[in-house]
Amino acid sequence: MSDDIYREIILDHYRNPRNKGKIDNADVVIHDSNPLCGDQIDIYLNVVEGQIKDIKFDGKGCAISQASASMLTEMVMDKPLTTAKDISKDDILENIGLTNLGPARIKCALLSLKVLKMGMVKYYTDKEPNTAEEMEKDSNLF
Binding site for another protein (CB under 8 A): 1-3, 5-6, 11, 14-15, 36-40, 60-64, 105, 108
> 31's torsion region: left (phi>0), alpha (psi -120 to 50) or beta?
beta
DSSP 6: T
Nearer to another protein, 52 or 96 (CB): 96
Min separation Cβ 100 and another protein, Å: 12
Min separation Cβ 62 and another protein, Å: 4
Rounded to a whole number, what is the distance in angstroms from the first to the last CA of the chain? Answer: 28
Give bridge partners of residue 28 from the DSSP assignment.
45
Min separation Cβ 30 and another protein, Å: 19
